[in-house]
Amino acid sequence: MTLRSSVETAAISTAAVLVALLLFGGFAVVRGLDPLEVYRVLYLGAFGSWFAVQNTLTQAAPLMLTALCTAVPARAGLLVIGGEGALVMGGLATVLAGVLLANVPGPPGIALLCATGAVAGGLWVGVAGALRHWRGVNETISTLLLNYIAIAVLNHLITGPIRDFDQVLKPASWSVGEHLRIGDVPGTSIHWGLVFGVAACALLWVLMRGTTFGFAVDILGGNVRAARMAGLPIGAMVLVACFLGGAAAGLAGAVEVIAVHGFASSSLVVGYGYAGILVAFLARQNPLAIAFVSVLLGGISASGGLLQRRFGLPDAATLVLRGFLFVAVLAGSTLYGRLRIVRRP
Amino acid sequence: MTDHPKLTRRQLLATAGGVIATGVVSDLVSRREARAAVKPITVGFIYVGPRNDYGWNQAHAVAAKKIARLEGVKIVEQENVPETVEVEKVMEGMIHQDGAKVVFATSFGYWPHILKVARKYPDVLFPHIGALWKEGDPKNTIGYRGYMEEPHYLCGVAAGHMTKTGKIGFLGSKPLFFIFNNCNGFILGARSVNPKITCQVVITGDWNNPVREAEVTNSLIDQGVDVIVANVDSAKVVVENSERRGIYTCGYHTDLSELAPRGFLTGAEWNWAAGGQFVKAWQTGGPYTNLLRGGFRQDMVAISPFGKAVPEDVRAKIFRIRQGFVDDSFKLYRGPLKDNEGNVVLKEGQVIANDDNKFKLAVNFLVEGAIGKTGLKK
């Protein structure tokens, strides 16, 4: 990325965020609220205190990983929206592995559990990649449907075969042993998923920017015929891109199990996968930008509660802000290459 | 003759005004002192769904509004909070960011999260609506819940008077003891009017499944049922459908009369505002109980305002029975009582106290007159 295009991206993204905030201010006025006060609370809830920052980062952690599920295949020209399903499958596989590996000591066991979750998620989205490559099935539709299948599998397993009947309040799976849990980063209330998320974003950024594979994937995403002419192994690349994306979301599922819940239940299906799609688009499929955008969206989620409590706004208020943001960014993307300040002299 | 000091009218007025003014001022001062004596307190309410769902969450939002009117109480509310660690964050947010000292987390599945957070914040009180508290749980947690079978009995009496076909319907969510209790209350009430009445019982298996609820409603009506009560998260679909098909309905959770202006009879309501007593106790350092179940006697349940279809004499009769619950002269489960499989539950003369939790929590049968099964393996 040249300096010029970096400036362009930064300028357009910032403008989009400002426009969204302005629109949200209008929404606040319609509700009879002082927009400046709303902005202040928005900031307070997201970044106003150490408590708020920790909340924001906790919210951001799973988004980073599920956003990669859309972003990596998108570099290869695929529109994958299967983060939700991959997360669920990753979580389920982690629980099963956790029960099987109950006697493995902590550190290697945890590594194995994370790997299992990632592989499960990777294979799940990999299925969509394979269907795309060999059968020409549209990957957007197939990943969407795979989400429903994953959730159905989860519901089936946790209400029957792997149900822990000691958990009476709602159906949940067996629990992973205490020694295989990772919990929070010491001294904070942020779980380790944040570290995994940042690491995965950085790793995939290097892969996409610094390797021949990344370059080849970008060619494939830019022009399939050119890629074919250049003799690139298109099938393998599609599969690998899908696998990597799915693995990131699967890892998010593993983290939800070993760092947050300790078991699989309907708590895995809370929309992280779908929010990740939004993050990926806002970040223009750039893994490094995903880390930052996740924090931004995490902040919006974290401050949503405070907005409700201070102004009596409905829960949907943050969805309104998210919606404005999405529309502003999409509208902003039409400006690329047209801004005078960054036009080549 | 002594010399009386003469009061001019002006002097009199001035004195009287002064006296009144002093009175008013001192009254104001004492009131302000009284207000100062009541410690201001922030109370948080967390809902699992939207506040205006015509059901479970609305019942709590209504209570929140009532509790907000208590002296010195300010409330903060958050809706659509899932039963995950998310609710722990929300509780902590209310404590850190809003200074809440009492947090009502109003969904059943919040309980394990409440226990976790309550241990961390011993200066905050956590009343919970499941009555799940047991010895050993933190002292700053409370479980409380109303006996909804009592208002269901009154709904049943209304239904018994209004039904023309002699067939009424009960739509339940989960096969749980309190749903069976409500169902039994409804049937016992109706059959106290006319012992020939039967009640179709359908358990959907879901707290919230509007499509299935609509189907069940239609099929019950097709079978000749002409009064329905639905024990689901939000009875909106059932009540509206029944209204459209021209039959009577009773509400559940909260006041649903506006959904069925023609066919609404009355409804079984929680009075979650009873939780205000915990707020007051926490505010003043007074005593409170950690586990509280109660009915009309403890003012923890209520009935909805009557619909216009219900005649005066029926209303009066229902009020009389309600008074019986209040002064404990009326008992819901009385012998002789059979279940709908013909087994004797209570012998002649056997009476179950209205607050006999041991009996009520173990109810796994439907009383005689119910057409349907609990679905439980016995």
Residue B269: strand, helix, or coil: strand
Q: pLDDT for A40-70, tens place per residue?
A: 999 998 998 898 999 899 889 999 999 999 9
Q: pLDDT for B110-169, tens place per residue?
A: 998 999 999 999 999 999 998 889 889 999 999 999 999 999 999 999 999 999 999 999
Q: Evaluate whether B290 touches B141 at the Cβ level (below 8 Å).
A: yes
Question: E-strand spans in chain B?
Answer: 41-46, 73-78, 100-105, 126-128, 141-146, 167-172, 198-203, 227-231, 248-253, 264-270, 291-294, 301-303, 337-338, 344-346, 370-371
Q: Is residue A41 part of a domain?
A: no
Q: Quote the tokens at residue B102.
A: 């009492």
Alpha-carbon Rg for chain A in angstroms: 21
Residue B77: strand, helix, or coil: strand
Query: β-pairing, B291-294 with B41-46?
Result: unpaired
- Written as one string, the DSSP assignment of A135-151 is H---HHHHHHHHHHHHH
Q: Is residue A315 part of a domain?
A: no
Place of tokens 């007074």: B286
Determine the pLDDT at residue B319. Answer: 96
Q: Quote the tokens at residue B358.
A: 């041991």
Determine whether B320 is exposed, middle or buried from the number of CB atoms within 10 Å of its CB (0-12, 13-18, 19+).
exposed
Over the range B73-96, which residues count as b (16 or more CB within 10 Å of their CB) and which as e? bebbbbbbbbbbbbbbbbbbbbbe
Q: Is residue A293 part of a domain?
A: yes
Question: Which residues of chain B neighbour A170 with C-beta distances below 8 Å?
Answer: 83, 109
Backbone angles phi, psi at B346, to 5 degrees: -130, 135
Q: Evaluate whether B156 touches B321 at the Cβ level (below 8 Å).
A: no
Q: Is residue A304 part of a domain?
A: no
Residue A34 CB-half CA count within 13 A: 5
Question: Which residues of chain A neighbour B96 with C-beta distances below 8 Å?
Answer: 49, 51
Name the amino acid, one letter, at A155. N
Determine the pLDDT at residue B17. Answer: 53
Q: Do B85 and A52 touch (CB under 8 A)?
A: no
Q: Is residue A4 part of a domain?
A: no
- In this complex, the residue of A260, A267, A308 whose CB is nearest that of residue B78 is A308
Q: Evaluate whether A237 touches A175 at the Cβ level (below 8 Å).
A: no
Residue B11: pLDDT over 70: no
Backbone angles phi, psi at B144, to 5 degrees: -145, 155
Out of A94-103, A182-191, B122-131, the most confident range is B122-131
Q: Would the pTM count as exceeding 0.90?
A: no
Determine the pLDDT at residue A31. Answer: 86
- In this complex, the residue of B44, B76, B112 whose CB is nearest that of residue A169 is B112
CB-based contact, B205 to chain A, within 8 Å: no
Q: Is residue A313 part of a domain?
A: no
Determine the pLDDT at residue B164. Answer: 95
What span, in angstroms and rounded, lies between the C-alpha atoms of A151 and A270? Answer: 11
What span, in angstroms and rounded, lies between the C-alpha atoms of A162 and A93? Answer: 12
Percent of chain A with pLDDT over 70: 96
CA distances from B326 to B219, B292, B319 (A): 37, 16, 10
Give me the residues of B, 150-189, that contact A with CB < 8 A: none
Q: Quote the tokens at residue B28.
A: 């104001």
Q: Do A51 and B82 touch (CB under 8 A)?
A: no
Q: For the complex shown, is ipTM > 0.90?
A: no
Task: Note down the domain range covering A211.
Answer: 64-297
Query: β-pairing, B264-270 with B301-303?
Result: antiparallel
Q: Is residue A15 part of a domain?
A: no
Determine whether A226 is exposed, middle or buried from the number of CB atoms within 10 Å of its CB (0-12, 13-18, 19+).
exposed
Q: Do B109 and A51 touch (CB under 8 A)?
A: no
CB-based contact, B84 to chain A, within 8 Å: yes
What span, in angstroms and rounded, lies between the C-alpha atoms of A176 and A174? Answer: 7
Residue A14: pLDDT over 90: no
CA distances from A331 to A16, A74, A270, A285, A328 (A): 8, 19, 28, 16, 5
Q: pLDDT for A224-233, tens place per residue?
A: 888 888 888 8
What span, in angstroms and rounded, lies between the C-alpha atoms of A304 and A317? Answer: 7
Conformational region of residue A34, where left means phi above 0, alpha means psi within -120 to 50, and beta covers everything else: beta
Number of domains in chain A: 1
Residue B3: pLDDT over 50: no
Q: pLDDT for A254-286, tens place per residue?
A: 999 998 888 888 888 888 998 899 889 888 888
CB-based contact, B83 to chain A, within 8 Å: yes
Q: Do A315 and B93 touch (CB under 8 A)?
A: no
Diameter of chain A by CA atoms? 70
Confidence of residue A342 (pLDDT cuts 50, 70, 90): low
Give me the residues of A, 13-52, that contact B with CB < 8 A: 44-45, 49, 51-52
CA distances from B267 to B43, B157, B182, B247, B276 (A): 28, 11, 12, 15, 22
Residue B291: pLDDT over 60: yes
Question: Which residues of chain B neighbour A261 with C-beta distances below 8 Å?
Answer: 84-85
CB-based contact, A271 to chain B, within 8 Å: no
Q: Is residue A189 part of a domain?
A: yes
Q: Do A309 and B109 touch (CB under 8 A)?
A: no
Tell me how long chain B is. Answer: 378
Q: pLDDT for B192-239, tens place per residue?
A: 999 999 999 999 988 888 999 999 999 999 999 999 999 999 999 999
Which residue of B lies nearest to A41 if distances are taken between CA atoms?
A: B97
Q: Quote the tokens at residue A90.
A: 């990753």
Question: Which residues of chain A neighbour B111 with C-beta distances below 8 Å?
Answer: 169
- The crossing angle, in degrees rounded to 10, of helices A83-100 and A234-255 is 60
Lowest mean pLDDT among A237-251, A304-318, B211-225: A304-318
Residue A121: strand, helix, or coil: helix
